[in-house]
Amino acid sequence: MPRVTIRDIARMKSRGERIPMVTVYDYTSARVADAAEIPVVLVGDSLGMVVLGYDSTIPVTMDDMVHHTKMVARGCQQALIVADLPFMTYQVDQGQALTNAARLLQEGGAQTVKLEGGEAVAETVHRIVHAGIPVMGHIGLTPQSVNAFGGFRVQGRLRAEAVQLLKDAQALQDAGAYSVVLELVPAPLARLITQRLTIPTIGIGAGPECDGQVQVLHDMLGLFTDFVPKHAKQYATLGDAMKQAFIDYAREVRDGDFPTEQQSFTMSEEVLAELTVPQ
Ligand code: KIV
Pocket test for ligand 1, best of 50, 57, 201 (most atoms within 8 A of CB): 57
Mean pLDDT calculated for residue range 11-30: 98
pLDDT of residue 250: 98
| Helix axes 159-175 and 187-196, enclosed angle (nearest 10) | 30
Q: pLDDT tens across 171-207, in order?
A: 999 999 999 999 999 999 999 999 999 999 999 999 9
Mean pLDDT calculated for residue range 127-143: 98
Q: pLDDT tens across 233-273, in order?
A: 999 999 999 999 999 999 999 999 999 999 999 999 999 99
10 pLDDT higher than 80: yes
**Residue 76 domain flag:** yes
- Residue 266 belongs to what domain range? 241-276
Closest CA to 113 of 67, 177, 184: 177
Q: 187 exposed, middle or buried (CB, 10 Å; 0-12, 13-18, 19+)?
A: middle
pLDDT of residue 227: 74
Query: Cβ of 70: how many Cβ atoms within 10 Å?
Result: 18
Q: Residue 2 C-alpha to ligand 1 middle, in angstroms?
A: 25
- Which DSSP string corresponds to 45-93? TTHHHHTS--SSSTT--HHHHHHHHHHHHHH-SSSEEEEE--TTSSSS-
| Same domain as 132, residue 28 | yes
Does residue 156 contact residue 203 with C-beta atoms inside 8 Å? no
Atom of ligand 1 at shortest range from CA of 45:
1
278 pLDDT higher than 90: no
| Same domain as 258, residue 187 | no
Q: Residue 160 C-alpha to ligand 1 middle, in angstroms?
A: 25
pLDDT of residue 228: 83
| Same domain as 130, residue 184 | yes
Q: Is the CB of 46 under 6 A from ligand 1?
A: yes
pLDDT of residue 224: 75
Could you tell me the pTM of the whole model?
Answer: 0.96
Closest CA to 117 of 97, 136, 142: 142
Atom of ligand 1 at shortest range from CA of 57:
1
Please state the domain count of the chain. Answer: 2
Does residue 4 contact residue 42 with C-beta atoms inside 8 Å? no
